[in-house]
Amino acid sequence: MISFRTRLGGVMLVMGITLLSGCASVVDALRDASMRPSASITGTRLADLNLQAVDLVFDIQITNPMTVALPLVDIGFGLATDAEIFLSGRTAMQGSVPAGGNRTIQLPISVDFSETLDLLSRLRPGQVVPYTASLTLAVDAPGLGPLELPLNTTGEFPIPNAPSVDLGKVEWTNFSLNSIAGVMNVDIGNTNEFPFELSDLSYSLSLAGADVTQGVMDQATSFAAKEKSTLRIPIGFSPLQLGVGLFNALKESDTSYNMAGNLSLDTQFGKLDLPYDKSGSTEMTR
């Protein structure tokens, strides 16, 4: 009669041999280049672009030709421009790649412009920055432990600068106690080294301390890099509703103004919505 202990020992031996043979098969498979896990960057894009930061998003496809699932461990990354590293780190990953299958993951890396400019003093707002991204994807290969898959790609991102906004002269075409109408000349300057299209400009205009009009200019206007242009925007209001004091102030050749609102820009890097607020003195003609 075979004892229970003997039978148990036999079972454990069989299980041990099975595990060892399974690990051996995985190791043997990894010796075959066609059976090794691989990864590639299938796409890059910019997200959440603003004056403070931008997210670089990398789409990474992982292929697992093995007969067992491949757990993900983490991703190390380094971003450099002209061989100078300005951002690095490591991000833990969850989940696994199924046996004989693929999985695509997204890696977002946030670039803070203030920190980047402090680190690389040769950069300045308005520039387009070329970068090299070096990524290292770590997976847990059964029987071998962590296996690193290196990835590299290049791209560029902007450090956007707000356009300049100034109110040039205001040309009155109709000036009476019942109605005032005219054209305000708004000077816009692209302070960036990349072009943009101004899709709309919202404004609230005060003259001589009084709020006189507000609106939206939604006629798209293209600006080349470093280009300046003047937008002619029709305005009109009733001076009777604002008081005789303002009417008399607007008879002068110049007056104080405040103009505030929002600029909506379409760029090759994505959409930018930028507030502005400008005060000064403007010339008025009739």
Domains of the chain: 36-158 (2.60.40.1820), 164-285 (2.60.40.1820)
- Mean pLDDT over 66-78 rounds to 95
pLDDT of 33 > 70? The answer is no
Q: What is the pLDDT of residue 28?
A: 55
- Mean pLDDT over 38-60 rounds to 97
| pLDDT band, very low/low/confident/very high, at 23 (cuts 50, 70, 90) | very low
β-bridge partners, 149: 137
Q: Residue 241: what are its φ and ψ, rounded to 5°?
A: -75, -15
Q: What is the pTM of this model?
A: 0.81
| pLDDT band, very low/low/confident/very high, at 251 (cuts 50, 70, 90) | confident
Q: Residue 143: what are its φ and ψ, rounded to 5°?
A: 90, -15
pLDDT of 15 > 80? The answer is no
3-class secondary-structure state, position 191: coil
Which of the pair, 2 or 29, is modelled with greater confidence? Answer: 29
Q: What is the pLDDT of residue 34?
A: 65
Name the residue among 74, 85, 63, 71 with its Cα closest to residue 134: 85
Q: How many other C-beta atoms are found inside a 10 Å radius of the C-beta of residue 13?
A: 10
| Length, in residues, of the chain | 286
Name the residue among 229, 272, 280, 234 with its Cα closest to residue 256: 280
- Residues 6 or more apart in contact with residue 2 via CB below 8 angstroms: none
Tokens of 169: 């002269």
pLDDT digits (tens, 9 = 90+) for 114-146: 999 999 999 999 999 999 999 999 999 887 778
Q: What is the pLDDT of residue 13?
A: 35
- Mean pLDDT over 275-283 rounds to 95
- Mean pLDDT over 170-184 rounds to 92
CB 126 within 8 A of CB 226: no
Point out the least confidently predicted range of 208-212, 244-248, 252-256: 244-248
Name the residue among 45, 40, 47 with its Cα closest to residue 135: 40
- Mean pLDDT over 257-278 rounds to 96
